[in-house]
Amino acid sequence: MQSKQSGFTLIELVVVIVILGILAATALPKFIDLRGDAADAATDGVAGALGSASAVNKAGRLANTANGVSIGNCQDVANALDGGLPTGYTITSTVVTNGATANCTVTGPQTKTANFVAHGIT
């Protein structure tokens, strides 16, 4: 009787390691540059919050002029945002006339930009 040994040969193990290396080499670059995507998402989030704050502020001011803040400039929207504008972000200075809207730009980390709408109200 002859006993047969079971197991993997060296060639089979090398082939599996090479395949895993190729998979890792193709997937790794996708996960390396997530910092830029995170900066984009954060800037978009701040722009969305600014747009919402402006709309809610306008509704509050229309209901009662004692509510909210006066917005005559894109930068004034930061005063309507609960907690203010996060550090590292800037807003373009564009005039917003009373009762009108203006497209404003917020710049965040890594000079990523996003747009939001400001509602002018006194």
Interatomic CA distance for residues 48 and 114, integer angstroms: 9
Pairing of strands 101-107, 90-91: antiparallel
- Give, as one character, the DSSP assignment of residue 104: E
What is the tens place of the pLDDT at every residue in 66-88?
Answer: 999 999 999 999 999 989 999 99
pTM: 0.75
pLDDT digits (tens, 9 = 90+) for 22-39: 998 888 877 777 888 889
What does the alpha-carbon distance between residue 100 and residue 119 come to, in Å, rounded to a whole number? Answer: 6
